[in-house]
Amino acid sequence: MEISQHASIRSRQRGFQDADLFLIANFGIPIKRPGNVVEYRMPQKVIKQIIQSLDRICHKAILMDENDKTVITAYNLNNR
């Protein structure tokens, strides 16, 4: 994801961190806007779903083929 100079300045002024932009772009709800742009929003409902998912996947892992990104298996991590 590329970030324009304007977006970089504005996001810093408004208290965004780089990870915030990534999360909004990847998990936000897309809404088409005039001028061939898309707005991504993070409503409270989406945030709640993400938090529940993060709690659920704690101590879990997947193996993925590096070339074609196929998930080979999923498993629970042992607390060692």
3-state helix/strand/coil string of 1-64: CCCCHHHHHHHHHCCCCHHHHHHHHHHCEEEEECCCEEEEECCHHHHHHHHHHHHHCCCEEEEE
Average pLDDT, the chain: 94
pLDDT tens-digit series, residues 21-51: 999 999 999 999 999 999 999 999 999 999 9
Amino acid symbol at 33: R
Token digits of residue 45: 């409902």
pLDDT more than 90, % of the chain: 92
For residue range 43-59, list pLDDT tens digits in order: 999 999 999 999 999 99
- Domain limits of the chain? 5-76
- pLDDT, residue 1, reads 86
